[in-house]
């Protein structure tokens, strides 16, 4: 067993059970460790701190498996963690067949993402530690009842930092279908696990899609007509279909990607929605919002769920300006009494800053707005309280009067 001995004073974050060891914290190694090896992390004066997976090329030099000295990081330990993660998601399957069953650090499996779509798992191995246990993990997953196979979508850029090549291939079982159909809160979606974003679907927005569905339903009950909604950055139609299922009269959905829109339209017909109720517009949202305003468009609900504008803290100012721009122009399109659902999935932008940016947009819009709810990822994306870096998706529900 190789010891990774920290520099003096660098044990503090581990004592608070934060699971990352940066290269700058490393004093020395007791021997030669390969990427993926389990090392024992010790303070400069030899106190046990954690078991961790070593990654020799990464600035994130080690990711902790466990802070318990009695643990042995072997196949049995990994299997236990997988089972615990699966058990924790069990109740979600009553509502949906698309669930993130393993969420990295939050499940004590740093760098591992596993999503379940129907009878299939899709994996992302984003760190050397879980990569080393790839076969163990695949075998444990295949033991789950009803599973047909595992597709590996390990093509996230984070792999390069870990010295791992990108890999997209069948890991177990046959080739999955071109599109796997999932049902979430009564809505059918096709998921392209080979080419779709992330592992194919924005599972993290489940609760917010459900909120959209409820808002559409309540609107119809209250007003006796379906709402007119605008869904910006619609991708494969997640929010759009939820709104249509809730009884929205007309949903205009905007995205710059022709492929995403094609899939979205296909998803709409999958649910048998009247084509006239759904408009799919290929456009740049920044421009579309300006043009819609000039044309005097008004919507009962506007949704803004853009891609990550800030990939790191260095881009935060530019990102803040972009968020403000779309939110200002989005707010201007909301009918009196209508709602705005606005999101940011930039981990680098925290909740406070996001709220400030949106408040700035409200001020400039000269509209009056109230926050009804703070929104975030679903229960299958838990935030480990000792690792705040796990928080990335945040949103606000505003009502305009």
User: Catalytic amino acids?
Assistant: 345
CB of 182 to ligand SAH, least distance (A): 12
CB of 282 to ligand SAH, least distance (A): 8
Identify the bridge partners of residue 365 per DSSP, sorted by sequence position: none
In the list 162, 249, 305, 380, the residue contacting ligand SAH (rule: CB under 6 A) is 305
Query: Which structure tokens are listed for 192?
Result: 């392209």
| 238 counts as binding ligand SAH under rule CB under 6 A | yes
First to last CA, the chain: 64
If you ran DSSP here, which 8-state letter would residue 96 be given?
B
- Pair type for strands 394-400 and 334-344: antiparallel
Nearest-CA neighbor of 319 among 350, 363, 340? 350
Segment interacting with ligand SAH (CB under 6 A) among 3-11, 164-172, 283-291, 331-339: 283-291
Site pattern 253..282 for ligand SAH (x: CB under 6 A): -xxxx--x----------------------
Q: Which is nearer to ligand SAH, 51 or 239 (CB)?
A: 239
* Cα(120)–Cα(52) distance, integer angstroms: 29
* Cα(202)–Cα(398) distance, integer angstroms: 22
Q: Which is nearer to ligand SAH, 239 or 299 (CB)?
A: 239
| 311 counts as binding ligand SAH under rule CB under 6 A | no
In the list 51, 54, 233, 280, the residue contacting ligand SAH (rule: CB under 6 A) is 233
CB of 343 to ligand SAH, least distance (A): 8
Alpha carbons within 13 angstroms on the beta-carbon side of residue 22 total 6
Segment interacting with ligand SAH (CB under 6 A) among 109-117, 128-136, 231-239, 273-281: 231-239
CB of 215 to ligand SAH, least distance (A): 15
CA 354 to the chain's CA centroid: 17
In the list 284, 317, 364, 389, the residue contacting ligand SAH (rule: CB under 6 A) is 284
| 202 counts as binding ligand SAH under rule CB under 6 A | yes
Cβ contact 361:81 at 8 Å = no
Number of residues that bind ligand SAH (CB under 6 A): 19
CB of 400 to ligand SAH, least distance (A): 21
- Burial (CB count <10 Å: 0-12, 13-18, 19+), residue 312: exposed
Encode 106-127: b = buried (16+ Cβ within 10 Å), e = exposed.
bbbbbbbbbbbbbebbbbbbbb
Q: Could you list the residues that contact ligand SAH (CB under 6 A)?
A: 197, 202, 205, 233-236, 238-239, 254-257, 260, 284-286, 305, 307
């Amino acid at each position: 067993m190789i010891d990774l001995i920290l520099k003096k004073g660098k044990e503090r974050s581990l004592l608070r059970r934060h699971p990352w060891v940066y290269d700058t914290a490393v004093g020395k190694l007791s021997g030669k460790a390969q990427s993926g090896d389990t090392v024992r992390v010790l303070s400069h004066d030899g106190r046990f701190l954690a078991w961790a997976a070593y990654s020799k090329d990464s600035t994130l030099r080690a990711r902790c498996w466990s802070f318990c000295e009695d643990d042995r990081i072997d196949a049995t330990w990994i299997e236990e963690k997988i089972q615990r993660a699966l058990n924790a998601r069990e109740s979600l399957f009553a509502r949906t067949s698309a669930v993130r069953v393993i969420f990295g650090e939050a499940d004590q499996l740093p760098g591992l993402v596993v999503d379940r779509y129907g009878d299939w798992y899709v994996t992302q191995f984003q760190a050397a530690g879980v990569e080393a246990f790839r076969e163990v993990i695949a075998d444990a997953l295949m033991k789950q009842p009803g599973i047909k196979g595992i597709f590996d979508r390990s093509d996230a850029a984070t792999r390069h930092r870990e010295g791992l090549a990108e890999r997209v291939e069948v890991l177990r079982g046959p080739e999955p279908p071109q599109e796997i159909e999932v049902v979430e809160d009564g809505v059918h979606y096709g998921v392209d696990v080979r080419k779709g974003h992330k592992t194919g679907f924005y599972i993290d927005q489940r609760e917010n899609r459900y909120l959209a569905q409820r808002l559409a339903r309540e609107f119809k009950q209250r007003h006796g007509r379906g709402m007119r909604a605008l869904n910006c950055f619609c991708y494969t139609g997640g929010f759009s279909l939820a709104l249509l299922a809730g009884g929205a009269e007309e949903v205009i959905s905007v995205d710059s990607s022709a492929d995403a829109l094609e899939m979205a339209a296909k998803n709409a017909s999958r649910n048998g929605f009247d084509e006239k109720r759904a408009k799919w517009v290929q456009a740049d949202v920044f421009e579309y919002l300006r043009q819609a305003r000039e044309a005097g468009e008004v919507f009962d609900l506007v949704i803004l769920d853009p891609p990550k504008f800030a990939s790191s803290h260095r881009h935060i100012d530019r990102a803040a300006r972009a968020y403000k721009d779309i939110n200002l122009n989005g707010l201007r399109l909301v009918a009196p009494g209508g709602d705005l659902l606005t999101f940011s999935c930039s981990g680098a932008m925290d909740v406070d800053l996001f709220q400030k940016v949106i408040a700035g947009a409200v001020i400039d819009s000269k509209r009056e707005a109230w926050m009804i709810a703070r929104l975030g990822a679903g229960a299958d994306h838990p935030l480990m309280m000792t690792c705040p870096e796990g928080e990335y998706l945040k949103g606000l529900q505003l009502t305009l009067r």
